[in-house]
Structure formats: structure tokens, C-alpha cells
Amino acid sequence: MEIRRQPLQTEPQKFNLKPDELRVRQLRARQMLRGELEDSELGSYVESRLGLTTLAKAQNWARANAPWPLTFGLACCAIEMISVVGSPRTDAARFGAEVFRASPRQADMIILSGRVSMKMAPVIRRIYDQMLEPKWVISMGACASSAGMFNNYALVAGADRFIPVDVYVPGCPPRPEALLHGINRLQEKIKGQPDLGWRERYGAHGTEEVWGRTDTESLDHRPG
Amino acid sequence: MIDATGLELIARSVRSSLGEGTVRETIHAHGQATLDVAPQAVRDVLAHLRDDADEPFDFLASLHGCDYFPREPRLAVHYQLLSTERRERLGVRTRMTVEDAEAGAVPTITDLWAGADYQEKETFDFFGVRFTGHDDLRRLHMPEDYEGHPQRRDFPIGGEPVLFTFNEHKVPRWYE
């Protein structure tokens, strides 16, 4: 069940109650609960005042709002990564991702910020293996995603050759806003929203090519 | 700055003290003076230039390899000397074939300048020049189990095959 949010009580008179008036209201509500509300009414009354969810969703919600990154910079992208945390313009603390942990045991995600050299790849893999589950990887920039402008013996052409990558952030280097957007996409992924395919992003439902089918209208179409 | 005449004087002093065969050639180009010496004589020439020459060079600014492929002999090791007193620079170059380089034709100069240690490691790593007498010659930049010397010009470039307009029809099914 979804988390039900009560509308915020913004009427000023409700906050300006005197203590004895508040007490009167509490007693009246208690009497209502005792006798005057019937089964279904009582149920809806209680339900409207409770937030119900599954444990898994609450767990994912908590995880998504505190993805602590590892203190780990590879190259020039790391400067942009630092500015995501360090500058008030893009403050990663708004999304709970500002606590860079210096130990992989305490980190939830690793941001591959820069080119990955042949010699660094086993080190990154070891650090990734040292991180505790659940863990996520953001590949930041063109180099970590595909070796970028480099095409030679020294660099690994894409960090996803040795490590599972969750989010790719394009750019050379990406702006801090782009990395923050990548963190937000990762949060959506952690929360279990699968809206990460390009069809969802571009509103391209109905373009699937299915063999033998012509009624593409009947395919799952969600606008926007 | 050493002019062409000064370079010839340096070459003559080296030849007179170490033998005619040590300096093969003098090159003065782009305002830079270079001695081309035989690989076996590199250490003696550098020791002479550092200690015994009338105008000594006390500082080794750089040591690096080079590949002149397809010219032969292919490989070269360049030593850039600097006199901190007179502010003069002198290049010493030695060229050798790949076989000679791997057989250890060039002696080490780590006993003259300890700073040459890492640079000789780097030259061995990238060009495969085995400096004889170096007590810890191993790879510096590439992984320990790497095969080949990647800065040689006949080394495959690695990575992904690059598509240009002139070779796109040669890479099969490039459009996928």
C-alpha cells in the first residue's frame, strides 16, 4: 500500500488553540472512537491517520535517501564530483549523498570519476568487492563509461567490463548538476521505480516493434 | 646555450679522452646540441661530461626512450644534461637495434645519477631497453604481468578498432 500523506494543517486557528481547548478536543475524539464510530467508519478513521507500507518499501526509501558515496576520485571528473558535495550551489546533502566515507565498508555507492587505467581496474574491483551489500555504481563521464577520447593500451574501455554499473552520467566532464541528476536517477532506481529506460524518458511508448502485431495502441502506454 | 662550434669542441674532448669510436655524430638542430654516442660508451661519456670535462654538466634533466621506426637502428635513449652553473643544455643520444636493446647494450647510469632509476625503469617498461647493471629493472607503469612494450611504434594501439571514413568498409558490419 502506498504511503498516505495527510494534507498539512495550515489553518492558523488550529495552531493557536489554548491548552485547555486542545484537551477538550482530545477528549471528544476519544469519545468518538469509543462509541460513536462504527466498524467501517472507525476503520477509515484510523486508516486516514496511519501510514502503511511494506517493510521492503520502507527499507528502500531509507536506502535511497542516504546513498553514501565512497571517497574515491580517479581523474579530472573527481573535481566536479567534489563540487557536487562541497558547493552550496549543488548541495548533495539535500539528497543524503554528501557523506563521503573513506572506507568501502561504510559506503553504499562508488562514483567512478575519471578514466580507468588497466592498472587501476583490479584495485577498483577489490574496493567494490569490499563494499557491503546493497551497493551501487555510478559511472561518471565519458572515460569511465567508454574510455572516452582515449583508445589505447593503457585504459579500460568502459568500467562496465569489470564492474556492474547502475547509472551512466555522460559528459566530459559532466557538470555537477548532471552528476546530481545521476544520483537522483540512482535514488529512483533504489526506490524501485523502473522508469529508467529510454522509452520512459522520451515518452516513446508505442514504438516497440513486436513481430506479428500491428495494434501497437494496445501496448502499455503511459503518457509523459 | 651551446653553438655548433662548442658542440664540436665537446665532441673533440670526449673523443680525445675516451676514444674515436665513442661519439658517432654531432647534431645541432633547432638550437639544441646533441651528441650521438655508441651504446656501450654511454656511461663513460656521461661520467666524463659530469666529472672530467672542462665545462661539466652536473644535472641529468631527463632520460627517455624513443622509437625511430622504420629507420634503423630503431630504438634510442636520450639523456638531457644541464649545467646549473652555466645554464647550458646538452643532449646525449644513443641508438641501437631492438635486439641490442634487449640484449643489454646500454649500461645503467644510476650510479652517476640516482634519479635515473625510475626513468630507466620507465624506458624499459615502454621501450624494452634493458639497462645492464640496473639492480631493480622492472615495470613501472604497466601491470607486472603485461606483455610487450607499448610505446614501440609497431605495438598495436589496443582498445577498440577506430572507424574513420577511409576504413569503414574494411571493418565488417561496422554499422551494427
Looking at residue A223, its pLDDT comes to 46
Q: Is residue A42 part of a domain?
A: no
Alpha helices, H only, chain A: 12-15, 19-31, 39-48, 55-64, 77-86, 121-130, 141-146, 176-190, 198-202
pTM assigned to the model: 0.69
Q: How far apart are the two ends of chain B, measured CA to CA in Å?
A: 58
Task: Tell whether A123 is within 8 A of chain B (Cβ).
Answer: no
Number of domains chain A contains:
1
Task: Tell whether A116 is within 8 A of chain B (Cβ).
Answer: no
ipTM of the complex: 0.72
DSSP state at residue A205: T
Contact residues on chain A for B141, CB-CB shorter than 8 A:
119, 154
Q: What is the pLDDT of residues A7-61, one digit of tens each?
A: 555 554 555 667 778 788 787 777 777 776 667 777 777 777 777 788 878 888 8
Closest CB from B142, B146, B159 relative to A157: B159
Provide the domain limits for residue A128. 66-194
Closest CA to A159 of A133, A132, A182, A138: A138
Q: Is residue A201 part of a domain?
A: no
Task: Tell whether A151 is within 8 A of chain B (Cβ).
Answer: yes
Q: Is residue A200 part of a domain?
A: no
Number of domains chain B contains:
1
Task: Tell whether B153 is within 8 A of chain A (Cβ).
Answer: no
Contact residues on chain A for B155, CB-CB shorter than 8 A:
153
Q: Is residue A40 part of a domain?
A: no
DSSP state at residue A214: -
Q: Is residue A32 part of a domain?
A: no
Q: Is residue B80 part of a domain?
A: yes
The residue written with cell numbers 644534461 in the block is B81
Q: Is residue B43 part of a domain?
A: yes
Q: Is residue B151 part of a domain?
A: no
Q: Is residue A106 part of a domain?
A: yes
- Rounded to 5°, angle at Cα A164 from A163 and A170: 95
Q: Is residue B101 part of a domain?
A: yes
CATH code at B55? 3.30.460.80
Q: Is residue B97 part of a domain?
A: yes
Q: Which residue on chain B is closest to A151 by alpha carbon?
A: B159
Q: Judge contact between A130 and A106, C-beta under 8 A.
A: no
Task: Tell whether A152 is within 8 A of chain B (Cβ).
Answer: yes
CATH code at A102? 3.40.50.12280
Provide the domain limits for residue B102. 4-132
Judged against a pLDDT cut of 60, whether residue A195 lies above it is answered with: no
Please report, to the nearest 10 degrees, the dihedral formed by the alpha carbons of residues A86, A92, A96, A102 taken in order.
-40
How far is it, in rounded angstroms, from Cα A206 to Cα A199?
9
Q: Which residue on chain B is closest to A147 by alpha carbon?
A: B159
Task: Tell whether B158 is within 8 A of chain A (Cβ).
Answer: yes
Q: Which residue on chain B is closest to A156 by alpha carbon?
A: B159
Ordered per-residue pLDDT tens for chain B, 176 residues: 889 999 999 999 999 999 999 999 999 999 999 999 999 999 999 999 999 888 899 999 999 999 998 888 999 999 999 999 999 999 999 999 999 999 999 999 999 999 999 999 999 999 999 999 999 999 998 888 888 898 998 888 766 666 666 766 676 665 55
Write the DSSP assignment of B115-166 as a string of letters.
THHHHHHHHHHHH---EET-TT---SSS-TT--S-TTSTTS---SSPPP-TT
Cell numbers for A1, please give them. Answer: 500500500
Q: Is residue B141 part of a domain?
A: no
Closest CB from B143, B155, B156 relative to A119: B143
Q: Is residue B53 part of a domain?
A: yes
Task: Tell whether A118 is within 8 A of chain B (Cβ).
Answer: yes
A173 upstream amide cis, omega within 30 of 0: yes
Q: What is the pLDDT of residues A96-151, one digit of tens each?
A: 998 999 999 999 999 999 999 988 999 999 999 898 888 889 999 999 998 888 88
The answer to whether B159 contacts A155, with C-beta atoms less than 8 Å apart, is yes
Residues 6+ positions from A103 with CB-CB distance below 8 Å: none
**Phi and psi (nearest 5°) for B62?**
-160, 150
The answer to whether A155 contacts B160, with C-beta atoms less than 8 Å apart, is no
Of residues B36 and A160, the one with the higher pLDDT is: B36
| Tally of CA atoms within 13 A in the half-sphere of A21 that contains its CB | 6
Task: Tell whether B157 is within 8 A of chain A (Cβ).
Answer: yes
The answer to whether A119 contacts B162, with C-beta atoms less than 8 Å apart, is no
Cell numbers for B151, please give them. Answer: 610505446
Q: What is the pLDDT of residues A70-109, one digit of tens each?
A: 999 999 999 999 999 888 898 999 999 989 999 999 999 9
Q: Is residue B38 part of a domain?
A: yes
The residue written with cell numbers 502499455 in the block is A220
